[in-house]
Amino acid sequence: MNPISSNDLQTDPSQFPDLDVYAVAGNPIIHSKSPAIHRRFAEQSKQAMHYGRMQPAIGQFIQTAKAFFAAGGKGMNVTVPFKLDAQALAEVLTARAQLAGAVNTLWMKEGKLYGDNTDGLGLVSDLLGQGIQIQNARILLLGAGGAARGVMGPLLEQRPAQLIIANRSSAKADQLVHLFGELALSHNVQLAARSLQDLQDQSKTPQAFDLVINATAAGLTDQSPLAESALGNIFKPGVFAYDMVYGKTTQFMQQALHRGARVSDGLGMLVEQAANAFLIWRGADVTIDPRAVLLELRT
Instruction: Output the CA–CA distances (angstroms, integers) from residue 173 to 64, 135, 177, in the order listed.
Output: 34, 22, 6
CA pair distance 86, 107, nearest whole angstrom: 11
112 belongs to the catalytic site:
no
Name the residue type at position 36: A
The amino acid that residue 8 corresponds to is D
Please choose, from the candidates 88, 85, 87, the residue with its C-alpha nearest in 3D space to the C-alpha of residue 96.
Answer: 87
Bridge partners (DSSP) of residue 211 are: 139, 240
Q: What distance in Å separates the CA atoms of residue 89 and residue 210, rounded to the nearest whole number?
A: 38
d(CA 187, CA 245): 28
Residue 127, phi-psi category: left (phi > 0), alpha (psi -120 to 50), beta (remainder) = alpha
Neighbours of 145 (CB within 10 A): 13
Catalytic pick among 46, 83, 172, 248: 83
Its sign, for the CA torsion 156, 161, 166, 171, is positive
Cα separation of 41 and 39, whole Å?
5
Count the Cβ atoms, other than its own, within 10 Å of residue 141.
26
3-state SS of the chain: helix, strand, coil percent to 5? 40, 20, 40
Give the catalytic positions in this structure: 83
